[in-house]
A and B are shown apart, each in its own frame.
Chain A
């Protein structure tokens, strides 16, 4: 398989009997997923039809090794292996069996097709429902949170109810039961509850299915429906379920009842992980799948860490391991079993190992730390022939300015860099701005008057090679709002001297664009997505225009069209839409309700490039590297969990008894445990060395003395005292 030599343990898993259900566990870096992929190969080579095979992972990115393997030439052809998530499966089944359950679930128009909401369209509807309550009834006065996060947390509560498996009417009571603060504050949970139920009623009335409803309909109705269940169990007789620790209890429940019926199954569990707990991941229920398996295998040998990195991991484990066992906040499983280094590892262990593995640079200001990081990366690439792709720079949060500052510095020294954040807002792309400004110019009836600055910007990006100076000259002269409506003057009506300055080449291109827009204005307005497609296809992608042969712009335009299209589909038949949908979309983008988030297609980016990523995102990409740079080691971000005032991933988990108060001890233990998991998870994905970037002041100018820094200092102090003792 792709030239990888499997260990005997991996081979034993891959080539296990075709009627065997295996539970494979071990910490990161022990080769479990490699064994999983090999198993998939083995099944295919054993002439199991591909369409009998289902590979489940908690999220798409975790399935990447399976996708890669399926694309490789030595994978047997014929049929298609289904690689999906429980959410993906739910959606497909709802689509297929809609008439079977629509009425039973309570949808008020069961004869119509279901409308699946994306995150942003769900957020849009939530905004419509919640905004009047905030503005007219004073909802959420007792909390400080920006609106868009507020909407997403109410959605998140519904999602938690669905993936954990409790009625959405219990959200408020559960949250209040765990609350120990101000009683006034607790009122917001009642309000969050009311909003959630209103939203749910709205969805049922309009055949809308957000993620929570998709999961609930699948788990509570379709999976119980023999027709649907038989369809699934008969279609898929061989199951591989990887990274079960990152999936939700309801997903585990479904697989639990499914495993008994499959011919073969492989369940893979990563010790010490469970990083998606804020999304409802539950390692405990995941581990219970072991009960349904015939055999259990444990991998203990790291394929990643050298001896010295292993020593570093052990040192971190010693200082970060909670002194008291935590109760119910974190599952008791998944702690690191003693781990053996890679067979090819160096023999350096103990303190010498730590010294060889841990490098740090302490600077006063944040940007000085970034300079240090870049200098070290440069030294690695130039002097030690390290591949940029074998280097990752990690921070607890990757802010835009941090990402930009680092990328900019690395570009300057000629080191390729790629950045991965879970998502990125389309509205931040200049191509999006250009398209939306041109859309406003083409639709005077929307009464949106772009600023001259925006028009300058749009012309500059729309017209190939038009520079900023000429773009502004052009906009100053031709953009004349008239009676509150945007107007563009023809190029031949401006002074000859000015025409010369702008040049006739650019003037001609401008004129083509203007004529197109003017012609469009004489016709009946098309839906915004149609308008954008045409603008892109007929003008902007043509020679002489800014998007011509620009793959990124094309991609952005395509995604924007898709986002608008989805928006139009879901809102087209709503009677209460008085404003033109295009205008509504622009307004929502401006307010940030529709951020037009999209997943950066990072697999298409240059691979041999330094990766900049948030630490958890890197963990979930499951990819070891040789060198890791940890930034802002003094920052509290390493220790903080995602904290959202209207929701609570642990209180809304299956393991939290209703009415039990969430105390400071729970919070503290959770964070300590989180830090330990994060740090060990990172170290286990590191082959050679960890660099620690420290600065006295954070990016915002605050002093930094977080617990990770404390842990590093403890390791160094122990190291110093032990060295002194020798």
Chain B
């Protein structure tokens, strides 16, 4: 483990001077906020103000950050000669909510064995509820059809398009209702008391009722319930709240720019009026707002409160000066010149300052030539090819450096991955799930696939490849395993190999073949023993099958942990679908393996990615996932007016499908109706189209910040490209053009 060298900069030292009260910190990208916050946590524990059972509570955004924080605070504690793991607790909001609810489940109507439904199962239940509703109300949403559709088109939309849109609307509604603490009966009550018909909301309410009932039937809650119920528990029992306040006298919150309303409410309750609360974040990096209830306004408002000490961490040693200038340039352009005035608060101060003189982490040497805004108009495929060529070439010149290709959407990332693979360029892909999760799920999926169809020689051969997959790295072994897999593929009757009977033994017959060797015999014999054991597991419940296979397949702790998690996910699937057997469960696993399902894995097996571990390879990921990471060279792709719209009239928005009239964003509209009804049913401050406009602006603001995040990932080199889109009509995004123009003017 590396020695901890943490010499705080003056701005960091000011943060570390904190002892009590409320403090807010705006930290620019690369300013070392995690280090600073970890050091602060360790200091507070070491000060000795905590008695037994008291802890500093650190709340952060994602699992990978939990692990990161815990490790760093632990090191600081050890440096101070203290026991690591004592006196502090690091949690995501979901982890914290789980802790709270687990302590008093009965308070919020849960049994002690409540389960938390996996995202996919929750979506499946919602989809079922939506489909049930649509079947009984096929024409209920006709009033929202685009006016220029003929009857044939309308009929097609009803069957082919509405189902997905209804699910998306219901998802948005359920999420928002839970955020506003509105239960299904509560919503029904509001609707019953409202004089006019609200078809969108009535639809949403019916699905919400069904969905929540289906969860209750299973004794399960979804992730949003967990948060909602945690707040409810704190509010219901002041004594419980008081006990938790005593337990956590200090609360440190990281990534506070992505705080949601409920997160703020939960933490406010836990802090109390006199409590100690430190919130650190960068409002310029708030990129989790769309389809969530998060907003940077909570942090901004907090920073402006009179009882809050507001500080900045403006220095960053991450990037060369030109990258810093670009990022600051984007802030200036946004705040002064964005064509939509409502978006001028999307970014703001503090500006990034380089590390001060003599800093142990100085900025890389500046080289303005390494900034490249590629003006050329590419087709989507041509853009990928150009980036792949450039990245491969850059990598060959700088093999010791780190490179990332950052895309705005997963599907674009998959296309880049395919192109890199075709070009034989080494790369690693971090999109919906990590390679580790996919590999583990894939390996297990292949084995289960064989067990579901044990007569198949083809699947048996795949199983053999899976078993010896580690040998693929060695050329000689790879040849050998490919050869043996081919032999297995030709096995005419699998039963004569795995379970020979008198006079019918394929392995023995093989001895007369010219390619026979004792090594081959040993390999196949060993494999046969294993396959017999695996076949013996099929009478077990699915989780036990997976665990048994995993013991034979995996050796790395992280792989085994993933296998365990997969086992539990499949077990949960069987409780939802008691009729499912191995073939259906194998398909479920294949979904994870095919990268179609966001899989909530373990901390360091999932979202955490260490760019340094992939020197000499190209990392392909989304700009969202890149947050908190840095590479020597960064490619930002698809910076078009489609992926980065600016809320201008000509912009197209993903949430506004062609078959809905008046370019309405129905997800936004249903949420708008809910908010208006909840706020004041008598006034009902809702005008059709306003919510759509608001959603456009929110989305455009978030995409601006995403662009900012993308730029600030680069240490020494940055290339930004765009393409003309699927229909050939996309343009470079407005901020792209503005920044490129500004950059060129600066250069001249």
Contact = CB atoms under 8 A, between A and B. Distances in A.
A404 B550 CA distance: 13
Interface in A264-304: none
A142 B216 CA distance: 9
Interface string B570-585: 0100000011011100
B305 to A, nearest CB: 30
Contacts of B85: 705, 713
Interface stretch (B251-259, B532-540, B695-703): B532-540
Given A428-B541, A697-B561, A703-B66, A143 B602 contact: no
A590 B578 contact: yes
Contacts of B543: 400-401, 404
Interface in B570-614: 571, 578-579, 581-583, 600-603
B111 A643 contact: yes
Given A188-B109, A408-B551, A664-B237, A401 B495 contact: no
Contact of B560 (A367, A469, A473, A668): A367
Given A366-B564, A367-B561, A467-B498, A149 B113 contact: yes
B105 A180 contact: no
Nearest to B110: A144
Contact of A713 (B86, B110, B112): B86
A133 to B, nearest CB: 14
A457 B539 contact: yes
B110 A145 contact: yes
B57 to A, nearest CB: 11
Given A149-B219, A472-B454, A501-B495, A182 B236 contact: yes
B91 interface: yes
Nearest to B103: A636
B105 A467 contact: no
A366 B602 CA distance: 11
Interface string A617-646: 000000000000000000010001111110
B131 interface: no
A581 to B, nearest CB: 21
A470 B495 contact: yes
B498 A145 contact: no
B564 A143 contact: no
B548 interface: yes
A469 B499 contact: yes
Given A400-B543, A405-B547, A144 B495 contact: no
A643 B454 contact: no
A469 B495 contact: yes
A317 interface: no
A702 B237 contact: no
Interface string B196-220: 0000000000000000010111111
B114 A430 contact: no
A144 B215 contact: yes
A715 to B, nearest CB: 11
Q: How large is the interface on A (under 10, 10 to 19, 20 to 34, 35 or more residues)?
A: 35 or more
| Interface of chain A: mostly helix, strand, loop or mixed | helix
Interface in A364-400: 364-368, 400
B507 interface: no
Residue of A146, A433, A472, A663 with most chain B CB atoms under a 10 A cut-off: A146
Contacts of B221: 144
A639 to B, nearest CB: 9
A207 B339 CA distance: 81
Contacts of B183: 184
A104 interface: no
A225 to B, nearest CB: 40
B95 interface: yes
B227 to A, nearest CB: 15
Given A149-B219, A664-B240, A701-B602, A467 B499 contact: yes
**Most chain B C-beta atoms within 10 Å of own C-beta, residue among A408, A663, A664, A699:** A664
A473 B498 contact: no
B538 A457 contact: yes
A149 B111 contact: yes
Contact of A703 (B90, B108, B236): B90
Contacts of B113: 149
A699 B547 CA distance: 12
Given A453-B583, A645-B110, A667-B104, A367 B564 contact: yes
B154 interface: no
A141 interface: yes
A714 B105 CA distance: 27
B185 A141 contact: yes
Interface string B1-34: 0000000000000000000000000000000000
Interface in A288-335: none
B495 A141 contact: no
Interface in B101-145: 102-114
B237 A145 contact: no
A83 B71 CA distance: 57
Nearest to A665: B239
A642 B106 CA distance: 10
A147 B215 CA distance: 11
Interface string A692-715: 000011011111010100100110
A144 B219 contact: yes
A365 B602 contact: yes
Contact of B52 (A400, A405, A454, A714): A714
B312 to A, nearest CB: 31
Highest count of chain B CB atoms <10 Å: which of A401, A472, A663: A401
A451 interface: yes
B52 to A, nearest CB: 6
A703 B58 CA distance: 13
B540 A404 contact: yes
B45 to A, nearest CB: 13
Contacts of B111: 143-146, 149, 643-645
B182 interface: no
B295 to A, nearest CB: 27
B213 A451 contact: no
A149 B218 CA distance: 10
Contacts of A78: none
Contacts of B451: 468
A478 B51 CA distance: 72
Interface in B429-475: 451-455
B561 A365 contact: yes
B697 to A, nearest CB: 37
B219 A145 contact: yes
B72 to A, nearest CB: 15
B223 to A, nearest CB: 13
A146 B548 contact: no
Given A401-B568, A501-B495, A430 B539 contact: yes
A503 B544 CA distance: 31
B561 A141 contact: no
B498 A469 contact: yes
Interface in A133-153: 140-147, 149
A141 B216 contact: yes
Contact of A710 (B53, B107, B219, B539): B53
A514 interface: no
A181 interface: yes
14 contacts: A144-B111, A144-B114, A400-B541, A404-B543, A468-B454, A469-B455, A470-B499, A501-B493, A503-B501, A590-B579, A643-B106, A645-B106, A665-B239, A701-B561
Closest 9 CB pairs of A and B: A643-B112, A146-B219, A664-B239, A664-B240, A467-B499, A430-B539, A469-B495, A143-B109, A453-B581
Given A404-B544, A472-B455, A713-B85, 16 more contacts: A141-B213, A144-B110, A145-B110, A181-B236, A365-B557, A367-B564, A460-B539, A467-B499, A640-B102, A664-B240, A665-B239, A668-B243, A700-B568, A703-B89, A703-B90, A707-B53
Interface of A: 140-147, 149, 180-182, 184-185, 188, 364-368, 400-401, 404-405, 408-409, 428, 430, 433, 451, 453-454, 457, 460-461, 467-470, 472-473, 476, 501, 503, 505, 590-592, 636, 640-645, 648, 663-665, 667-668, 696-697, 699-703, 705, 707, 710, 713-714, 716-717
